[in-house]
Homo-oligomer: A and B are copies of this chain.
């Protein structure tokens, strides 16, 4: 290895350590930190964030990058060293193109916007949030100008979360998906609804927790390299490839959600745990994008955890744990209950078949706001119109409508579509996996998931951030991200459940 490459890696390792430390500060804040510790924690997060930014954007790193780009000119484009250089350049440009005065202004604006959003949502009064969101949109438009002209200004925002993804791609994907998903939902709506009343009774929290951990273990989660704790909002986080943690929560009105949440976060964690150890403490470590990450969490939660073969194995055990709740509920009824499709107002509670509609709505609004074709003041009306168009329901107020999500108040535009893209990718991967492992369902019926995990590790996880998301999906499945597989999956699954 050249002396300069060695030097760069040493500097990047330091930055990686700082980022891991920041993640630990966040984990502790959401799990164990005493209530009064918040103010000091804010200072600590700010200090580490500042130092990490300073170290990463230093001229030394800029100079090394330039020198190494010359040195490695003509090297194998798939070599780890060149890929490391590429992704470091990507992240470095992202971090250095934005002036620090802008970053400071952004922090002030979003901090106020967050406060305003809290109040607006509480009072269900959009007008409180409106001027703040207008500033957020204006800042995002300004942010775009710091980067070389793109095909579409929204590309620059998307790229923060899905490296290399284009607005045109996302639009095309969703344009293909939208009519088919609407059609499916109409067909389901005409059929008798399934029963899920047994999910909305009391379950013992400790038993549900223990069962969740049994399932995480079965999925292959390594407790010597991770742990599960409680937090208000479930998440997964990691401080190294050997310390990848998950959290879950108990919701009294939806107790089984603890289980599905654990499955979901286990999916995220397995992705991180399966990364290439050689990439540790470098920008190549971690998952390649939010969408690919979400494909893993959704896969373990939905394609595995809400599948019939899974429950053919685990339902007797579940019934034995909760005889009063599901002792008299047969497997088919239970299976249909956990897959109930029902248009609803709140995205985070949406089922597999309606979820993407919530995302498409938000994506259209975001693109419109950035283009200037959608005015912030018109958002509530457009929101409600589209909710009716896509899901046939209208929010009774803005708290349950346009004000429900935290994302915009924090300044994050460009984020939402990754949730839906993750669903699509999970189905694309699934078709490939079931072709490669024909007896996969039989394995689930025996409570066996090791072949699935081994496949994911070998084909997907081990590449960490080496390939861009689209590039990775194409390498693994043969196609770029598209909705065909997901539509087939939905039609097949819900066709059976609702007898379409």
Contact = CB atoms under 8 A, between A and B. Distances in A.
A264 interface: no
A34 B281 contact: no
Interface stretch (A44-52, A80-88, A138-146, A448-456): A44-52
B223 A34 contact: yes
A24 interface: yes
A195 B21 CA distance: 50
A18 interface: yes
Contacts of A243: 33-34, 36-37, 40-41
A44 B21 contact: yes
B34 A226 contact: yes
A225 B37 contact: yes
B34 A224 contact: yes
Contact of A18 (B32, B47, B240): B47
A28 B25 contact: no
Contacts of A18: 47-48, 51
A224 B17 contact: no
Nearest to A243: B37
A412 interface: no
Given A18-B47, A281-B43, A34 B240 contact: no
Interface in A63-83: none
A326 interface: no
Contact of A20 (B39, B44, B51): B44
A499 to B, nearest CB: 46
A21 to B, nearest CB: 5
Contact of A41 (B43, B223, B226, B239): B239
Given A36-B243, A224-B35, A43 B17 contact: yes
Contacts of A17: 43-44, 46-48
A227 interface: yes
Nearest to A33: B243
A160 interface: no
Contacts of A440: none
14 contacts: A14-B47, A14-B51, A21-B47, A24-B44, A34-B223, A34-B226, A34-B245, A36-B224, A36-B243, A37-B240, A37-B243, A41-B239, A44-B239, A51-B51
Contacts of A21: 21, 25, 44, 47-48
Nearest to A44: B17
Contacts of A222: 36
Contacts of A224: 34-36
A13 interface: yes
A245 B35 CA distance: 12
A32 to B, nearest CB: 6
Nearest to A240: B40
Interface in A230-279: 239-243, 245
A202 interface: no
A76 to B, nearest CB: 29
A91 interface: no
